[in-house]
Structure 1
């Protein structure tokens, strides 16, 4: 008797409609990086001129990669490991590599979300005081003088991290539609409304025009710099949640008749539209800060990321008329964007565990969520958490997400030869026909770009220690993690699957309402 006949399993969970799926996918894509990374990357990449490589990267890089993830998940109806196992026996380990990457990202992403939650509360009273930089690093994070992990816990961070994980686990335990779907349908419109109000408020500030000029004035000479084009590709890559299992997982939760290419275009352009909106709001506020300080916009922008969110913006809020409103809207937006992204990241792990061992959603949520929460809290509620977070983020993005995406595309194209099947699947159900242009991008153009990005990241980190951090920190949480993840993934792929799960490509047998997970 075959494994598919031994156990009758429940129908696979799913989103109730295409609309809910799109909201959930947008919720995953729109995250912290849209708000604090894109404005800085665009400014450094030539301002208004950056829009050209950005849009080209979106159309010829981001959207095709999104379609690849959708094709795998929607065609093979499983988590990342199960979908890839059904695609080809030798592909399963790539799915577990993606799962492990999601575990790493989730444990530190929760810490940043906890910081944003704390600052959302502080923004009502400008509780960071007159020196936001001193407060953030000194009073709030209590960052250790020497980079590296510590066991000195910071109660203020500990409490908010517990709350973040409680909300995340609670939403995921409610299920795909009731938890993830409904959360996205509520949170994403609220996020957009909050950010539109923030942008309007920022545009009324004195000096906002100068900020927008700095953001949109094109530096056409930047287009001759290959680094700007690579930067545009990187921004699209990291902001669309492609390459590490999220969209594979989500695509397996929608009806077989769903228009995946049309849905992907909506998600991709919605994500980029929000990034442009974020750029307008952030630079209008930075223009005010520059005018008040008598300096250039670039001088108050800093390096983007954490510095922009937790130092530059509190400084703006301290000085701006109606600063409390701006502060509340900004940090609430960070929380809303962050929580929907964190939920999607953890769902990749839950879906994989459920498929592999066959336990209920509630059990899988707690089996996955509680250990991740404990590790996250122990590592990042300490005085050394910032340094560990920075190291893990830098290395898992460069040598995790980019590497697995490149390997996956090359393997599907040349080793497994499954690209025609995936294209046929999307063309059969999609409103946007892929024909020959999509396979060419997936087989040649995009892997080359990813390998260039990988080489660039490798040379940068080999030329000099990242941020001049100690070798022990980099070797354990940087290079050590990079090497360990694919090896662990291979080991997990050798473990047996539960009885009752079909490991073969049987799309006709897996119909809506009775799909085997």
Structure 2
């Protein structure tokens, strides 16, 4: 815990704000949040589908012109205003509090379904040893394991093979959250991130020795320069970067609020951003080396074999495990990597919610962690490990990413840059002690490039989902778990701002924050 004095209001003592004990632990935790399931199963296929090696050009452009600038924006808001997303935005401007609650609610939705994928990966780590899927990995996954009906329908028959690992994931996660920032989140990342890196390096090295691996790498890296002329390729690069860096849904605002006052924000951000991108390229090498082997074994092409997302993880890779030398080892490494990558991201997602409850109500860490984690876990355990769970997950993921994260990011950037005009102030905070200075160029990118790109992607997504039902799902499912959920996020965000801040909340009276602001004002005056 922070050693700063506790604030008091009306005779009640508010808990002192926790901090990361070092910049290194913050960087490890931020990388742990950014490196998630999408790095492993989404980036390789996105790159392959959008120009192969040529995709690295729009990817790098998106990283430098939008991803990193938006990451620094989150850092500046969180670190300067020393709060969770709702409190930080409220301290910036009272009317902006709703932006923070929007981000908190997005994290609630993601946490509910994200945990079940980690549970699947945990079970498949064991299945890799026994090769439980037999000769038909697809039929095993959808039929025997998930017991999903052929047509989307609402059913609440529980699937034991999904319930028990999901329960284990939630118990471990709740223990970490209750332990706090230093004893829980920091320690978990210090353990999980090195394990993830070692396991994935061994996986990549093993995949590169397989027959046909070079064919997969050639398909992944061979540039299709004509693809660069298509706006959709650039939109794919920007869209991926927003999700990949964990920006614009409260995580980096919350994590940066736990940093000590004199911290190099931009230097830390550069390390996080490029570490995340390095891991994605490493994932691309490992995944496409494996896909090359699968194509070689099947006598087909890489184009016919390459798939993304759930299909890659739980259908293609089990097929690889059954066919490859040391297949069980590859499976344990791959699915183990998914478990550790997922856990580090899940705890960061939950921390956004826990920190918001702590700040709003003035509750202690343990009380806030249990009040958040237990209900979210119960919803996850009731809704996802059922015969309907796969459909709910797919729809919720598709809609919350586009109309939760992207739409929220667009509104937040427009409000901060154009309505409140806070970029010069935030730029000054970033530059106070940071090694890489953010001046006019950064403000132009945040106020100009980011909103245009976000608006373009968002409009295209709205047109696509309105013109044709997503994945052919029935209208009632899309209206409930898709459109209804998306609209509900905004309505609930507004309602949460109407709840009074508790007497022990950080909004009412926070000597620690006031002391920091006074010191910064004095320093800037000099």
Residue 176 of structure 1 corresponds to which residue in structure 2? 181
Distance 2:298 2:51 in 1: 24
Q: CA contact under 8 A between 1:15 and 1:254: conserved in structure 2? A: yes
Q: TM-score, normalised by structure 2?
A: 0.95
Q: CA contact under 8 A between 2:62 and 2:237: conserved in structure 1? A: yes
Residue 351 of structure 1 corresponds to which residue in structure 2? 355
Residue 154 of structure 2 corresponds to which residue in structure 1? 149
Aligned-pair CA distance for 1:506? 8.9
Distance 1:137 1:511 in 2: 54
Moved more, 499-508 or 136-145: 499-508
Aligned-pair CA distance for 1:185? 1.2
The one of 459, 466, 473 aligned to 1:462: 466
CA offset digits 1:186-226 (Å, max 9, x no partner): 21111111101100000000111101000000000000011
Matched pairs, number:
511
Aligned-pair CA distance for 1:464? 0.4
Aligned-pair CA distance for 1:494? 1.0
Q: CA contact under 8 A between 1:80 and 1:348: conserved in structure 2? A: yes
Aligned-pair CA distance for 1:504? 8.8
Residue aligned with 2:14, SS: coil
The one of 383, 390, 393 aligned to 1:379: 383
The one of 250, 273, 276 aligned to 1:245: 250
Aligned-pair CA distance for 1:9? 2.6
**Gaps (5+ residues) in structure 2?**
1-6, 520-526
Alpha-carbon spacing, 1:90–1:503, altered in 2? closer, same or farther (3 Å): farther
Matched, 1:275 2:280: yes
The one of 11, 14, 22 aligned to 2:19: 14
Q: TM-score, normalised by structure 1?
A: 0.97
Q: CA contact under 8 A between 2:9 and 2:508: conserved in structure 1? A: no
CA offset digits 1:243-266 (Å, max 9, x no partner): 100000000011010101000000
Matched, 1:509 2:514: yes
Aligned-pair CA distance for 1:505? 10
Which segments of structure 1 move beyond 3 Å, counting only runs of 4 or more?
A: 3-8, 502-508
**Gaps (5+ residues) in structure 1?**
none
Aligned residue runs from structure 1 range 356-371, under 5 A? 356-371=360-375
Residue 291 of structure 1 corresponds to which residue in structure 2? 296
Distance 1:289 1:314 in 2: 11
Distance 1:188 1:403 in 2: 30
Matched, 1:129 2:134: yes
Aligned residue runs from structure 1 range 384-403, under 5 A? 384-403=388-407
Distance 2:150 2:230 in 1: 37
Residue 480 of structure 2 corresponds to which residue in structure 1? 476
The one of 487, 490, 496 aligned to 1:486: 490
Q: CA contact under 8 A between 2:358 and 2:368: conserved in structure 1? A: yes
Residue 4 of structure 2 corresponds to which residue in structure 1? none
Residue 448 of structure 2 corresponds to which residue in structure 1? 444
Residue 337 of structure 1 corresponds to which residue in structure 2? 341
Distance 1:260 1:57 in 2: 20
The one of 306, 313, 317 aligned to 1:313: 317
Distance 1:144 1:65 in 2: 41
Distance 2:15 2:372 in 1: 21
Aligned-pair CA distance for 1:148? 3.4
Distance 1:507 1:213 in 2: 55
Residue 24 of structure 1 corresponds to which residue in structure 2? 29
Residue 205 of structure 1 corresponds to which residue in structure 2? 210
Distance 1:336 1:249 in 2: 21
Residue 51 of structure 1 corresponds to which residue in structure 2? 56
Residue aligned with 1:124, SS: helix
Residue aligned with 2:53, SS: helix
Aligned-pair CA distance for 1:429? 2.0
Distance 2:458 2:15 in 1: 42
Residue aligned with 1:491, SS: helix
Residue 262 of structure 1 corresponds to which residue in structure 2? 267
Aligned-pair CA distance for 1:509? 1.9
Distance 1:136 1:9 in 2: 49
Aligned residue runs from structure 1 range 217-228, under 5 A? 217-228=222-233
Residue 37 of structure 1 corresponds to which residue in structure 2? 42
Residue aligned with 1:429, SS: coil
Alpha-carbon spacing, 1:508–1:333, altered in 2? closer, same or farther (3 Å): closer
Q: CA contact under 8 A between 1:43 and 1:215: conserved in structure 2? A: yes
- When the two chains are superposed, the root-mean-square deviation of aligned CA atoms in Å is 1.7
Distance 1:505 1:434 in 2: 29
Aligned-pair CA distance for 1:238? 0.6
